[in-house]
Amino acid sequence: MKFILKHVPMATLLNRILGKSSRSFSATNLWTVGMIVSIFFITPLGCFVPALAQDTNPTSAEQSATAPEDPPTPTAEGDESVETMFPHFKDSRFWLSGQANFIFQTHPPFYAAYSGPHSLGAHYDKATSRVLTLYTGVRLNNSTEILVDIEEAGGAALSQGFGLAGNTDLDIVRNPLLSKEPYLSRGMIHKVFAVSTEKVENSRNSLSLFTELPVRRLEIRVGKFGMPDFFDQNSVGSDTHLQFINWTVDDNGAWDYAADTRGYTVGAVADYEDRNWGFRFAEALMPKIANGIDLVYRPWEVHAENYEYELRHGILPRRAGVIRLLAYTNYANMGIYRDAITQFVDHSSPYPELVPEITNHPWHVTRKYGFGINLQQNLTRYLTAFARFGWDDGRTESFAYTEDDQTFAEGVGADGTWWHRKQDRAGIAFVSNAIKKDHQNYLADGGLGFLLGDGGLNYRRENIVESYYTAHVWRGIYVAPGLQHINNPGYDRDRGPVLVPSFRAHVEF
């Protein structure tokens, strides 16, 4: 390393790190490097600075030695394992909690040979998003409860959310024209049917108020909810409040799950749980148009099915882990990429367009299907790895989540107990996204998806690296600097790379 620093010019060395030629280094890159230094070298020092509020009850070495090997449960809103501003009642019939999540992001100018109406803007940009949620619930008896959550989301997204399959902020509202009024995010009835008399302790949270549950049980939920509330979860890569924030790191990018613009749907979930395994199924409504806020209330015609099998067994010997297998089918008014290209090439559309148009078709219901795998594996007492793989048929238009037909993600999360700050956490992840040939040709001909459209396409996989450090400041207050590096944004080799620093402030009530 000393030899490299001595004989390689600093600009050349930094450009190698950023994947650029030595001639491309500029003042912008100096700003970028400054952000890298602050995030990766200065921020971790906060772990040891008293100003970040030392935990009042640090875990002793003896306590750590006897800690269980089981992986932590996925972080749910209001999870009692997360420190809050005010204590929650442990045995009450009622639940009341809240959260506020603010994410600031920016990026410097980057190279772009061309840009289209749905491109990530190549000039300097900044944006701040917010999500405020009030979680409420009441347990009617030992097997029935009602859960109601009210939410307000607003702020802005980089380039209004366009230009990336793996968008850098999962909290953004993808339609800036939506009302900023508070709205019902979840409202459901939760019923538990016991299949065994044996009970197991349950950690109360905003999605389940019971203090204990039957070991073998069938849980039914009916109402409004987010599909990722119950599917494709893992303990280190599913929570924008305290973990990663990229769309395709926190969720399976190829899972075009039923949702309106804000990420919620209406339907029912059936979940059978046994000691070491579980199986869940959901039937839900799809939106009327791609990324639309209105759902189609004709479930016999427009609907989505989701299936997930969960095996709580590690891949490594004597190490806890979880394997989750996912499958889904969507039936909605979705266009077909090849048909849109054919209309464009032979001008067979009654209204010929200058570019192919995926929505240029009469109402017709088509099917989309896909699969996913989600792995979670304890590596040590304080390190947990995860990996996701997703695939969909890629024939029909991306409709509800993002424009991604194949994805592979892997990452590691670290528990702050390792360095005596039990509420802190850190992580790093890599995700690679892809689209099928018909989807590529559609974008290359100038077509627009609901998220992508550069006016052309020199196709390459979209590759993203994300890292973060979440520091517990005091009670329910957390701050988290983060960094994302994106190669080939929107699958376009002629644009980028892009560096996106972020800063998140989170409060749990």
- Residue 165: inside a domain: yes
Least Cα distance to 359 among 384, 341, 334, 377 occurs for: 334
> Do the Cβ atoms of 281 and 272 come closer than 8 Å?
no
Return the pLDDT at 79. Answer: 54
Token duo for residue 430: 């890599």
333 backbone dihedrals φ, ψ, rounded to 5°: -80, 65
Residue 353 has what pLDDT?
62
- The verdict on residue 347 lying in a domain is yes
Of 43, 63, 47, 64, residue with least CA distance to 382: 64
Report the amino acid identity of residue 43: T
**Is residue 421 situated within a structural domain?**
yes
Residue 212 has pLDDT above 70, yes or no: yes
Does 361 reside within a domain? yes
Q: Is the dihedral of CA 165, 169, 170, 175 positive or negative?
A: negative
More confident residue, 48 or 313: 313
Confidence label for 4 from pLDDT (cuts 50, 70 and 90)? very low
pTM higher than the cut 0.95 = no
Q: What is the DSSP letter of 40?
A: I
235 Cβ neighbours under 8 A, 6+ residues apart: 71, 72, 73, 74, 75, 376, 384, 386, 413
Whether 331 contacts 366, CB under 8 Å: yes
| Residue 397: count of CB within 10 angstroms of its CB | 26
> Would you say the C-alpha torsion 40, 45, 51, 53 has a positive or negative sign?
positive
Strand ranges inside 275-421, DSSP E: 277-284, 303-311, 321-332, 366-378, 383-392, 406-415
- Is residue 450 domain-resident? yes
* Helices 10-18/27-37 angle, 10° precision: 70
The answer to whether position 9 is within a domain reads no
Q: What is the mean pLDDT of residues 322-348?
A: 93
Which residue in 103, 86, 104 sits closest to 95, CA to CA? 86
Q: How confident is the model at residue 351 (pLDDT cuts 50, 70, 90)?
A: low
In this structure, of 57-71, 271-285, 366-380, the range with the lowest mean pLDDT score is 57-71
Over the stretch 222-270, which tens digit does the pLDDT of each residue have? 999 999 999 999 999 999 999 999 999 999 999 999 999 999 999 999 9
DSSP-derived 3-state class of residue 329: strand
The size of the chain, in residues, is 509
SS (HEC) of 127-158? EEEEEEEEEEEEECCCCEEEEEEEEEEEECCH
Phi and psi at 29, nearest 5°, equal -65, -35
Domain span including residue 300: 49-508
Is the predicted pLDDT of residue 380 greater than 90, yes or no?
A: yes
Average pLDDT, the chain: 86
Band (pLDDT 50/70/90 cuts) for residue 350 is low
Q: Which of 40-54, 199-213, 286-300, 459-473 has the lowest mean pLDDT?
A: 40-54
DSSP string, 498-509: EEEEEEEEEEE-
Beta strands in 338-476, from DSSP E residues, in sequence order? 366-378, 383-392, 406-415, 425-434, 462-474
Is residue 19 in a domain?
Answer: no
Residue 420 has a CB neighbour count (10 Å cut-off) of 16
The pLDDT confidence band at residue 41, using thresholds 50, 70 and 90, is: very low
Single-letter residue type at 254: A
Residue 154 token pair: 């607003």
Tokens found for residue 133:
């949620």
CA distance 428 to 403: 23
Neighbours of 200 (CB within 10 A): 13
The encoded tokens of residue 27 equal: 């003042």
pLDDT (average), residues 99-125: 97
How many structural domains does the chain have?
Answer: 1
What is the Cα–Cα distance from 80 to 477, expressed in whole angstroms?
Answer: 15
In order of 4, 278, 469, 476, 477, the CA distances from 82 in angstroms are 44, 25, 16, 8, 10
In a domain, 3, yes or no: no
Query: What CATH number has the domain bearing residue 279?
Result: 2.40.160.10
Residues 6 or more apart whose CB falls under 8 angstroms from that of 50 comprise none
Could you give the CA distance from residue 455 to residue 197 in angstroms, rounded to a whole number?
61
φ/ψ (deg, to 5) at 40: -95, -15
Q: Which two tokens stand for residue 79?
A: 């999870």
Peptide bond into 497 cis (omega under 30): yes
User: Closest by alpha carbon to 102, among 501, 428, 479?
Assistant: 479
- Token readout for 155 is 């702020």
What's the longest Cα–Cα distance across the chain? 75
pLDDT at 42 exceeding the cut of 70: no
Residue 414 — very low, low, confident or very high, per pLDDT cuts 50/70/90?
A: very high
Q: How confident is the model at residue 473 (pLDDT cuts 50, 70, 90)?
A: very high
Q: Which residues of 134-165 are buried (b: 16+ CB within 10 A; e: fewer)?
A: bbbbebeeebebebbbbbebbbbbbbbbbbbb
